[in-house]
Chains A and B, each alone.
Chain A
């Protein structure tokens, strides 16, 4: 709750109709896609301009109120959760796309531009914004930047970081910074842009971004392959990547497929089920000749890595195959899955996976564990489903016990405890799996420089001091 002097001071900078304090708004804007924390926001503000954002930050510093930056709230680590009486600063109304530069192939977006709107804008210009994920219809560019969002085309186009040519940010102390100015080449000292990308709102607020666009993707083929053994997936990856340019290389387990088919009331794409499937999309040569695709498949078949597969014959079939992968997250949401998002260097993935499979089978045989993810990037999403009869708290504690062991293995393989979902609240206490004590101490130091009064998303990413 804000005190009445705090509220009147806020109303002096933002008109009252853009400050929401009703229970419904506080609940809706106080949380993201994670459902583990009860939202407790004090207010939601909807600024329209950079000046208003700066004014709110100055107000928060003066009043000692914390700010949670808020975009599409599709995060999976609790980074946008307001559970401690913070003020949520929503970028929903700052959603302008302007200053398209066809020569530089960049466009400027306000933080609240929805990813799909940017993608559609690029398409209208005959270009592509290639970062894409299942939540692109809701997620906003500012949130993508704050979490350095990845998704399904990372194997071809990289993460959000690779597409940001310039950033306008308001720091935790209310200063306005122009980072990198949209330049291609700019060796003029520390590049703050990269500090803000992936900072999860702990240093300041991204208010505008200059985003790079690229040529549209060439014609591609979409395949679904049936793979009996998980570690063989990397051999399949190599077989295809050495012959073709991969646009995406995803995998999921038959159990995950079962959930999607049940939710969508669909038929399995292959009558004979196998434990794992690879969904891959590869660029075709200009002649659209699928010979290299068949060669790669034949090789995998001969080696026994793959036992069957289908090739989409139309865009409609391609989309139907993609829905099998993209539908997993939504299909299992009713089971409140405990999500893991880990990564190791791909060359170590087969070994890592064998160890992890053994660990889960030995210690947690009763849990239903679903495997899927962007395996071409070494990124696994391991989802543990809550048994119907368990209470949420009890389940969460059990999963945290599993986590300790999983993360010990991640540390042993020098992997990441959060490949693309970010750290937020949920993964905060495991940061040490991937980052050293010296790293974390320096991160605190950086935060103190940009956000001296610790008003920016406190408690996310880094545990509160003391």
Chain B
């Protein structure tokens, strides 16, 4: 029987381990779900929109991350999964959709005892929404982006009880435009997608037109 020297055996072992490691990493990458498959809906591949598919372009070459407010389910992961702290996702407020209500579902907790600015009555965990009396019965709500962490609680309240004027967007003065956005990977509703940097926000413009 042919004997193998310990040194050779360890060498072979190391080679085998490296190969196994490479195979494991390749397998892991291959098994990972590719979330950014063409849905045929973004339309940026059309000549009128530039003709370049965002899936083919490297990060930073004209495309940025954005989240579609129509798909967003306000799961809260925008607040916890961004590589930045606080998150680059912030609440947007569309004033033309807002009803300027006193009983605001985005500002007040449903069990609020009073309709005022008391911390115990506010839905936002960081008090990032400012409420200002305009005239009876109108109140204006503004977002303090320094305080907003993008948790989406106000968005859920506003869309459930109100007009849906509050919604989340990636702020591009903050976003570092990661190659693979950590929030996009964790987003349960695939609301994140690459959009042309020339039109970096997905605003509720259709709804604004409809209401106003």
A, B from the same assembly: no
- Contact residues of B with A, CB < 8 Å? none
